[in-house]
Amino acid sequence: MGSTAPRRRAAPAARDSLSGLLTVCLLLRTCELKAAPPLKPNILLIMADDLGIGDLGCYGNDTLRTPNIDRLAEEGVRLTQHLAAAPLCTPSRAAFLTGRHALRSGMDATHGYRALQWNAGSGGLPQNETTFARILQQQGYATGLIGKWHQGVNCESRTDHCHHPLNHGFDEFYGMPFTLVNDCHPGRPPEVGAALRGRLWLYTQVMALGTVTVAAGKALGLISVPWKLAWGAASLVLLFFISWYASFGFVRRWNCILMRNRDVVEQPMALGSAASLLRRETLSYIERNKPGPFLLFVSLLHVHVPLVTTKEFLGKSQHGVYGDNVEEMDWLVGEILNAIERHGLKNTTLTYFTSDHGGHLEARDGGVQLGGWNGIYRGGKGMGGWEGGIRVPGIFRWPGVLPAGRVVQEPTSLMDVFPTVVRLGGGQVPHDRVIDGRNVMPLLQGEAEHSAHEFLFHYCGEFLHAARWHEKDSGKLWKIHYITPHVHPEGAGACYGRGVCPCSGPGVTHHDPPLLFDLSEDPSEARPLAPGSEPRYGAVLARVAQAVRDHRSTLSPVPPQLSPGRIAWKPWLQPCCGPFPFCSCSQEDPALRRAPSA
């Protein structure tokens, strides 16, 4: 990743003296409980894509093998109620990076599009949003992002990189500015631009029919039109046909690319070598930055479709190609954890593992399930309210500071990572805006009994689908659904026939009165409570309605980043290596094309 200029690293000395202080504390046994965690640990954040909470051994799966992630949980704190701020990639990640609901930055749906669709759209994480990487960078951290971004690239020109990771506090970036999608793998059914393509195909057919009719009419002498017009119509048919046909090859070329910092290094990317490339980059990053402190965000491409898996793992799991891909991901996580240990960084690194949202129930090929398993939780990816879409794995490890093997049942959010790491890095959260996340260190260390979140709000695009109330006194965990998607009658709570469930329109039900569940008794949201059976029904509804009003009063309108105008593909914004529109390059080292040796 290029040479790293010498950086200001005041931290190690401060760290030594702090850990010295801690030792004194521990020896004297005076300030054990009050001991603040040492400042400026390395921070390693690992996020999987589309992984279900029920896919991991440490969350109860007894047939998928995930020994490395399970070990992380044994050595650290495992959260059982860790919640994504949104059930889809772009908004969930925007909220993760900024500690704020995606609506606050305009990064959630207001016009139907729920995620960025192209590298060449102009929407993305606005420049006036502050990521944890930016704050830690200012605190002297080396900051790196390896893997998926999906927060936009450019605003006005091909190289302004206004939304690029390097403009959001990361010193180094290697990976996909977009995301894996089925279109990245030739021969798989398309995901991106499917509607546009459908329209192009329809126009082609209509125009062709019209042209043939006119030509036949003219040949039979029934109508008189100039041949010029007929030829014009025929060329239009050809044009539509070519656009339709080209849209298949070009989606892959335009969206499935690898960048190193500001340069496109592989276009379209070769999926088979992605796992070994990410491994190489991550290990090299850790080695180069071991003097610390560093913040490394490893944003895995696993386990999103198309599930391209190396032959070492193919056919090895008991759960088809999806299970193979999960096991490959676990291997990759193990390689990263081993590197941390090998370089003696285990005790000075806060390591975190999560998934951006729940497993994708609608991802199926014929009868074969290609999406993750959300355990006992109802629903999945794309569903704003049901637990399956938002309850994800959450593991924090920091030996010597966080108790090993601790399990926390309290509600926590992925947005909590923001204030937590900002604080550990010695920075301050911005005071000029609402931050929805809360520092989780007291909870992880066992100093606080309860989460700082009394209420959490669950959005689907701009629509509030559900809210949760953790009532501390009674220990009850109430969940209210205002809107739920219509699921396929025979599907296991999924919207088969669609990519993901809708947030609004004819595909959802508005509940009046809302549905109420007691998650502390019914975590699978199987038995809605009725006013007759639950004496507190009315009181709970009223209390949560008040909390929703208070929450709403903190929202203010911002420019929507997923509007049709910003979503649309714009040729002048397309990151491209080589001549446009053919954009083609491949990575330097052919040795990397080989599968990783496990």
CB of 501 to ligand NAG, least distance (A): 19
User: One-letter amino acid identity for 503?
Assistant: C
Q: Which is nearer to ligand NAG, 301 or 321 (CB)?
A: 321
Q: Is cis: bond before 411, omega within 30 of 0?
A: no
How far apart are alpha carbons 87 and 450 in whole angstroms?
Answer: 25
**What is the 3-class SS of 102-135, one letter each residue?**
HHHHCCCCCCCCCCCCCCCCCCCCCCCCCCHHHH
Q: Which is nearer to ligand NAG, 53 or 466 (CB)?
A: 53
Burial 172-186, CB ≥16 within 10 A → b, else e: bbbbbbbbbbbbbbe
Q: Which is nearer to ligand NAG, 272 or 400 (CB)?
A: 400
Choose one: 121-129, 253-261, 305-313, 530-538; the region binding ligand NAG (CB under 6 A): 121-129
CB of 63 to ligand NAG, least distance (A): 5
How far apart are alpha carbons 25 and 307 in whole angstroms?
Answer: 50
Q: Are 46 and 298 in contact (CB under 8 A)?
A: yes
Q: Which is nearer to ligand NAG, 93 or 465 (CB)?
A: 93
Instruction: Tell which residue, 417, 554, 558, has the closest CA to residue 105.
Output: 558
User: One-letter amino acid identity for 33?
Assistant: L
Site string for ligand NAG, 51-90 (x = CB under 6 A): ---xx----xxxxx--------------------------
How far apart are alpha carbons 392 and 436 in whole angstroms?
Answer: 18
Q: Are 312 and 325 in contact (CB under 8 A)?
A: no
Known catalytic membership, residue 585: no
The residue from 343, 433, 536, 551 that contacts ligand NAG (CB under 6 A) is 433
Q: Which is nearer to ligand NAG, 236 or 558 (CB)?
A: 558
User: Interaction with ligand NAG in 548-587: which residues (CB under 6 A)?
Assistant: 558-559
How many residues belong to the site for ligand NAG (CB under 6 A)?
22
State the catalytic residue, choosing from 89, 460, 501, 503: 89
State the catalytic residue, choosing from 58, 82, 101, 150: 150
For residue 319, state whether it binds ligand NAG (rule: CB under 6 A). yes
CB of 401 to ligand NAG, least distance (A): 8
The residue from 38, 126, 147, 493 that contacts ligand NAG (CB under 6 A) is 126
CA angle 389, 361, 418 (to 5 degrees): 30
Burial 304-318, CB ≥16 within 10 A → b, else e: bbbbbbbeebbeebe
CB of 346 to ligand NAG, least distance (A): 7
What are the phi and psi torsion angles at 395 (to 5°)? -130, 130
CB of 60 to ligand NAG, least distance (A): 6
The residue from 347, 409, 504, 587 that contacts ligand NAG (CB under 6 A) is 347
Instruction: Tell which residue, 58, 88, 72, has the closest CA to residue 334.
Output: 72
How far apart are alpha carbons 332 and 522 in whole angstroms?
Answer: 35
Q: Within 10 A of 392 (CB to CB), how many other CB atoms are there?
A: 30
Choose one: 124-132, 183-191, 200-208, 306-314; the region binding ligand NAG (CB under 6 A): 124-132
User: Interaction with ligand NAG in 268-307: which residues (CB under 6 A)?
Assistant: none
For residue 27, state whether it binds ligand NAG (rule: CB under 6 A). no
Q: Within 10 A of 513 (CB to CB), how many other CB atoms are there?
A: 12
Q: Which is nearer to ligand NAG, 283 or 558 (CB)?
A: 558
Q: How far is CA 134 from CA 90, 163, 430, in A?
A: 19, 13, 11
CB of 42 to ligand NAG, least distance (A): 14
CB of 326 to ligand NAG, least distance (A): 7
Q: Which is nearer to ligand NAG, 58 or 298 (CB)?
A: 58
CB of 41 to ligand NAG, least distance (A): 12
How far apart are alpha carbons 84 and 81 in whole angstroms?
Answer: 10
**What is the 3-class SS of 234-293, one letter each residue?**
HHHHHHHHHHHHHHHHHHHHHHCCEEECCEEEEECCCHHHHHHHHHHHHHHHHHHCCCCC
User: Interaction with ligand NAG in 380-399: which residues (CB under 6 A)?
Assistant: 399
The residue from 147, 152, 323, 384 that contacts ligand NAG (CB under 6 A) is 323
Q: Which is nearer to ligand NAG, 319 or 423 (CB)?
A: 319
CB of 129 to ligand NAG, least distance (A): 6
User: Interaction with ligand NAG in 129-148: which residues (CB under 6 A)?
Assistant: 129
CB of 112 to ligand NAG, least distance (A): 21
Instruction: Tell which residue, 440, 418, 425, 439, has the closest CA to residue 94.
Output: 418
For residue 128, state whether it binds ligand NAG (rule: CB under 6 A). yes
Q: Which is nearer to ligand NAG, 466 or 562 (CB)?
A: 562
How far apart are alpha carbons 26 and 400 in whole angstroms?
Answer: 11
Site string for ligand NAG, 353-382 (x = CB under 6 A): -------------------xx-x-------
Instruction: Tell which residue, 417, 422, 296, has the closest CA to residue 40.
Output: 422
What strands, in cross-sheet order, belong to the sheet with 463-471?
Answer: 455-460, 463-471, 476-485, 508-518
The residue from 112, 272, 400, 442 that contacts ligand NAG (CB under 6 A) is 400
Q: Which is nearer to ligand NAG, 446 or 559 (CB)?
A: 559
Known catalytic membership, residue 150: yes
Residues that bind ligand NAG (CB under 6 A): 54-55, 60-64, 126, 128-129, 319, 322-323, 347, 372-373, 375, 399-400, 433, 558-559
> What positions carry a catalytic annotation?
89, 150
